[in-house]
Amino acid sequence: MSFFQNKTTLLVILAFAGIYVIWGSTFLAISYGLEGFPPFILSGLRFLIAGILLLLWRKSKKEPIGTAVDWKKNAITGILILTGGTGLVAWGEQYVTSTEAAIAIATGPFWFIALDRQNWKTYFSNKWITRGLLIGFGGLVLFLQGSVEPGETETSGDLKLLAFFILALSSISWVVGSLYSKNHPAGNSTFMNIAQQLIIAGTASLIVAFFRGEWGLLDLSEIPVSSLLGLLFLVFFGSIAAYVSYIWLLSVKDPVLVSTHTYINPIVAVVIGWIVAGETISGVQFAGLGIILSGVALTNLSRYPFEKRTQVKIRRFNQVVARIVNPYKYITS
């Protein structure tokens, strides 16, 4: 029994590492991909290629492709999470930086609480979840203040505001799809379900690209190598490794807990941007990152029992962080 418990714990840790680190890196990969592909073509190719590869792998294992009901459930999940959630992120990144996009969709945990009505009692009765989310939100606001400087881009204020609004919609679409996936699971294996979701989401994204006239903007001879590498990263890491981890975590962990990846993703996006693209990180950003991490820690640790001494330490740490965030009036002690 201990062996299987340890194995499951290791898988959970690796899965969280996947959605924390890999998805944080995909924001920069999307920005590279957009240098050669329009947003919904990029998303469509990303999902469709990954889905076909997974489907062929599962068929090589003699796994059936599932019933029409399974395909319907996976269609709803895939369109909401992938076409709506991730596809709109690619559109938004035409007008905001990868870091800004990561921060803008970090409202995921709050939408999970707002929309997951059947678990409201559990969420609001757990002081560590609520405090962790509030602290994390305060850190995000502080982080955003240090990340967005006026005059950095040529994008007009109205268009940038529209991009942030679309990114917020993408977060809502992602949450609705995630809750639907958790409450209405299809009958296939996890890999077959994901393959179906990716194929349908990819097809839907390419249809959206057609109606938006993106195919007329695509010039295959002008696609840089960096865009092709970005697409390959999105296929194999963002759409297979990380997405498989995410869907599996939804089946074994609370959705609010899983959604904390939206707190870590901006941190990874900033670090990757600094290492790869030479972006700078200000002192205010570092302060925001520290507060975000404390919120994530409280949210994640709330599910585990602690000794009284450990509870006292956590409570004191929580009070210190609360005093830091309190001047910004996002939480009260």
Q: Lowest mean pLDDT of 67-71, 150-154, 244-248, name the range.
A: 150-154
Query: Which alpha helices (H) appear in 184-305, and where do they start and end?
Result: 190-211, 225-233, 243-252, 255-258, 261-277, 283-301
96-132, pLDDT tens digit by residue?
888 778 777 776 666 777 777 777 777 777 777 777 7
List the one residue out of 309, 5, 292, 321 whose CA is nearest residue 141.
292
CB contact at 8 A, 28 and 272: yes
What pTM did the predictor assign? 0.77
Q: Cα–Cα distance between 73 and 109 in angstroms, integer?
A: 23
pLDDT score, position 4? 46
Calculate the average pLDDT of the chain: 81
Query: Encoding tokens for residue 286?
Result: 């570092």
Q: Cα–Cα distance between 216 and 214 in angstroms, integer?
A: 5
Query: Encoding tokens for residue 98?
Result: 């990868």
What confidence category does residue 70 fall into, taking pLDDT thresholds of 50, 70 and 90? very high
257-296, pLDDT tens digit by residue?
787 787 788 788 878 877 887 766 667 767 776 777 677 6
Q: Which residues contact 31 (CB under 8 A, 6 or more apart)?
A: 93, 97, 98, 230
For residues 218-225, average pLDDT: 91
For residues 181-206, average pLDDT: 93
